[in-house]
A and B are shown apart, each in its own frame.
Chain A
Amino acid sequence: MTGVLITGAGFWSPLVWLAAFLIVLAIVLLIRSTGRKKFRHGTDQTAAFFSGNEAPKTHVKAGNIYWGFFVTTGRYYRWLRRMHTGIVNDYVYSFVLIMVILLAAVTMGGLL
């Protein structure tokens, strides 16, 4: 059947997905259109709620996003930073290391 990709355990049909997406979209638009009457631009309805104060027009910078994630995974990231030194000697060293590990695996694997 066209439009169906067999993916090992199941199948994936983008056309069916698109049809479902469009139906859901239509329902959403239908529901949205019923509420349009009460909506007015430029009033408090469109403003962000900020404890009753004027919402500040700021932008969260990239460095502050996912702050909590980095706090919880701090130890992992310190380990990663130690690994990524940026020194060219370490690059060559890791290449040699992988070569040695693979060689050990392949030759020992033959013996087992």
Chain B
Amino acid sequence: MIDLPFIAVIVLIMLGISAAVLKRNMIKIVMGVSISASGINLLLVALGYREGGVAPIFTNAPAAQMVLPTPQALTLTSIVIDLAVTAMMLSFVILMYKHYGSTDSRKRRLSG
């Protein structure tokens, strides 16, 4: 059963990338990137799990082996970065919608 999170991770990443490849709506492309990022965050959190370990919170902690909080720190950092990236991409979509009047990725002016 321990492999279940990893299967979910692969499914999420594939889902996100296929949305970025197949969807024409740019907002859906942004959503695809976000879904991929969530999949990778899930991977990092899943890697932090150790059987019999205690969550690395010092307050009220039982006297047992604590897990190393590195994956949690990584996940938090990655969430922050993902937020910044998503906000950036959405603002570009807003700007493009204003100029081109469409959120279709095929309506572009730069090519060749």
Contact = CB atoms under 8 A, between A and B. Distances in A.
Interface residues of A, number: 10
Nearest to B111: A86
A89 B112 CA distance: 15
Nearest to A93: B21
A93 B18 CA distance: 9
Contacts of B24: 89
A89 B108 contact: no
B111 A88 contact: no
Contact of B112 (A81, A92, A93, A96): A81
Contact of B106 (A84, A87, A92, A96): A87
Interface in A40-96: 81, 84-89, 92-93, 96
A87 B108 contact: yes
A72 to B, nearest CB: 19
> Which of B22, B24, B112 gathers the greatest number of chain A CB atoms within 10 Å?
B112
A92 B17 contact: yes
B31 to A, nearest CB: 14
A89 B17 contact: no
A92 B105 contact: no
A87 B21 CA distance: 10
B44 interface: no
Contacts of B110: 86
Interface of A: 81, 84-89, 92-93, 96
Interface of B: 17, 20-24, 26, 29, 105-106, 108, 110-112
30 contacts: A81-B112, A84-B111, A84-B112, A85-B111, A86-B108, A86-B110, A86-B111, A86-B112, A87-B105, A87-B106, A87-B108, A87-B111, A88-B20, A88-B26, A88-B29, A88-B105, A88-B108, A89-B20, A89-B21, A89-B22, A89-B23, A89-B24, A89-B29, A89-B105, A92-B17, A92-B20, A92-B21, A93-B21, A96-B17, A96-B21
